[in-house]
Structures are given as C-alpha cells and as structure tokens.
Structure 1
C-alpha cells in the first residue's frame, strides 16, 4: 500500500489546524455577535436571526471546509482508490447540500430572494453553487458509472481536477467578498469601530480562509505518494502507453 509523502504530512496537519480555527471563528462570530446578523432582535424575529446566523455556518463550515477535506481525501485516506473516490464523492455531496441550504437561508428574510440577489457576493455565490453542482455530477457520471470507457475517464480527469480546484478557490473568494460586504455594512451603517473585537474577528476569519485555501490547493497539486501511481509501459512495438 502506498504511503503519504513525508512532505505532505505538515501540509495536512496545518490544513486541519487552520480549518478548525476557521470553524471556531465563524461559530464564535455567529453566536456571540447576534445583533450583527439581525439588529434590534425581538422574539418575533428569532427565526430571522437563526436564518441569518446559519448562512455563514453552512457556507464556511459545511461548504468550504468540507469540500476542502474532500479534496484532501486523496492525499491522506488509506485504502483502495475506490474507497477514496467513495468518500470524496460523499463529502462533496454533503458540501453541495450545505451550500444549497446556506443560500436558501439567505432568502428567508422579509425582503425575499430578489432583494438579496444584488451584490457581487451573491452573483459569485450562485455561480459557485452551479459550477459545484455540475462538477459533482460530472464526477459521478465519469468516475462511478460502470459503463464509462476508461479512455473517456482519463480525458475528463484533468478537467475534473481543474474545475474542482477552480470552484474551491471561487468559493473562498466568494466568502471573502461576503465578509467584506458584511464588515463594510457594520462599519458604515451601524458605526461598528474598525478596531473593535468584531472587526478584528471578521478580518481574522478572512485571513484564515485564505490560509486554508492555500494549504489545500498546495496539498492537492503536490506529489501524492512515495510510490508512483502511474507507470509508463512500453509495448513491444515501441509505443508508449500509461497504466495507473
């Protein structure tokens, strides 16, 4: 059985540590600064507060962190390739469901969907979810449908990897625009100080997301195993073919 390259061990470790730190920050923000998600909350508005607080929780923890873990599955999970693909697909499915629910919670306010769909953040979020859904479906059809020809899967694989990393990066960029949008609103509309605890927390959350994404993408493009997974085999007529 192939083992994880030693150079990847620190990356995987820091990916987990930074991921837990980001999760802790967004949970602390959602539950400790409730007025930031729904000003002047009253008992009748508790449901709206829940929806507003659930949006960053689902999008950051459920969508970004879980999809990042799904990318890392191929780098650390022991076992067969079939097992890795199964866990990868399941985690990506959970991330997709979390993203859909996260967007749904944002549209549960009194103003409805159209009023919330006006900013760069909202446009990027919708594009990201659509790309992620297409990517998940492409992965399912290309790598799990038993009738697929191996040569077709090999041709699709580079595009699957590219689109996966691109969508993951787009999700992080979308979250960063959301944090900037939220912090700008708090500082201009509600006179939240630029040096207060909440401002520092949101900025730290943004830096944490940038750190996590960098580590995940670096681990994804680094050499996977000590042993080569793909070997070049030369046939008797001198032609080169690849087997994995």
Structure 2
C-alpha cells in the first residue's frame, strides 16, 4: 500500500517557512534600521553591538534554528539516523546562539544584575537551561549507541513534550522581550504608538505567534496519508453527493 505526504503537512511546512522568512526579515529591519533604539547615552559603540546582537541571536539563531530542527523529522529525506544527526546539530547550533545571546546581555557597563530583573530575563534563562538539558538528554538517549532501546522508548514522549514546550516557551520569552522594549521606548523616549518602529515590532510579535502555531502543528500532524485512505475518502464523498 503506497503512501504520500499529507497535503495538510506540506501546507504547514510551507507556511512555517514563509513565517520564518518574515520573522528573519522583520528582526533584521528592527535591529539594523532602528539601531538608535538600542543605544542609550550610557552605552558605548561596543555595548551597542551587544544590544543589537541579542535579538538577532535569540530570534534568528535560537528560535528559527530550533524550529527548523523540529521540522527536520517532518520533511528531511533519508534514514532515521541521518535525520537525528541533522536534528542534533541544528539544536546544538541553536543552543550555542542562545547561550551567546544571553551572554551579550551580561556584557557592557551595567553588568549581570542590572540585566536580570524582568520576567523576560528570567524566562530566557529558564528556557535556555531547559533547552540545554533537553539537548543533553536527546544526545544520550537517541544518538549514543550504548543506551538501551527500552530506555529510549520510555524517554521519547517526554523528549517530544519538552522539545515542543521549550520551543513555545522561547516564543513566549521573545514576546515578553518585544513588549518590554516597546513599552520602554514609548514611556522613556516618547516613541509614538503608531510609529514605524512600533508597527515593525508588533508585526514581528504577531508573525512569531503564527510561526509557533505552524511549527507545533506540523510537528504533531500525521506525516503520511495512505492511498487507501484517500480512496476511501473519495468514495465516501462521491456516495454522499
């Protein structure tokens, strides 16, 4: 009995790629075209570089790459071992970007304590810590040949749940960061609520929410649709007509 990719899955993968591209474009526009928003009188040019790198690393490096690692099992051809290897490396690069992205916030004049006070910062630290633990567990249970099959089977549901939960937490953390930044700009710098920058940031938050929906739904959707199921559906439709 033949199998084909589910049309709904293909549509979700396409929408996830479009949303991911839109997120990358919007965060680049925000970070590069509105650099003055990341620069305060107390910051040096080196501090400005760290401030601009933070959203780029956390959104493009951490969120987009970790989302792509989730989708690898949905679209990448090849053996299961090859898919697991690509998944592992993409998650590893995303983890490196996340760690470096947090490190950029601890650099500069204000130091660690001054940058670790908000809900956004707390959620970010928890998210990257969970992600690191998830990566280590995934490596030990799904890549290391010495682990038993029974252990891998027991860990798999928790690995999938924690992976999707951590990804959703990363999206939520990014949303709180965007809200925090826009609130600061509007209250401290009198930036208009209808300014171009506010619209860019709001659009970025909206597309991030859409991206998470597409990625998570694609991850839990059936990968294949049997030809027999398609024929039965067609026969039922014809009979009903």
Question: Is the shorter-chain TM-score for this pair beyond 0.5, marking a shared fold?
Answer: yes
Task: Provide the residue aligned with 2:127 in structure 1.
Answer: 128
Which whole-Å deviations, capped at 9, do the CAs of 1:157-205 have from their partners, x for residues lacking one?
A: 0000000000000000000000000000000000000000000100000
Instruction: Report the Cα distance in structure 1 between the residues aligned to 2:5 and 2:191, rounded to whole angstroms.
Output: 47
Distance 1:199 1:32, change over 3 A: same
Task: Provide the residue aligned with 2:59 in structure 1.
Answer: 60
5 Å-filtered alignment, 1:184-203, equals 184-203=183-202
Task: Say which SS state the counterpart of residue 7 (structure 2) adopts.
Answer: coil
Task: Say which SS state the counterpart of residue 135 (structure 1) adopts.
Answer: helix
Task: Say which SS state the counterpart of residue 79 (structure 1) adopts.
Answer: coil
Larger RCO (alpha carbons 8 Å, 6+ apart): 2
Q: TM-score, normalised by structure 1?
A: 0.90
Task: Provide the residue aligned with 2:19 in structure 1.
Answer: 18
Structure 1 residue runs of 5 or longer lacking an equivalent are: 228-244
Structure 2 residue runs of 5 or longer lacking an equivalent are: 227-241
Task: Provide the residue aligned with 1:240 in structure 2.
Answer: none
Task: Provide the residue aligned with 2:159 in structure 1.
Answer: 160
Residue 2 (structure 1) shift: 6.4
- Report the RMSD for the aligned CA atoms in angstroms: 1.4
Task: Provide the residue aligned with 2:237 in structure 1.
Answer: none
Question: Is 1:106 equivalent to 2:98 in the alignment?
Answer: no
Task: Provide the residue aligned with 1:232 in structure 2.
Answer: none
Task: Say which SS state the counterpart of residue 77 (structure 2) adopts.
Answer: coil
Instruction: Report the Cα distance in structure 2 between the residues aligned to 1:41 and 1:205, rounded to whole angstroms.
Output: 27
5 Å-filtered alignment, 1:1-244, equals 3-40=4-41, 45-226=44-225
Q: Is the 8 A contact 1:4 1:75 kept in 2?
A: no
Higher helix share: 2
Q: TM-score, normalised by structure 2?
A: 0.91
Task: Provide the residue aligned with 2:231 in structure 1.
Answer: none
Q: Is the 8 A contact 1:107 1:116 kept in 2?
A: yes
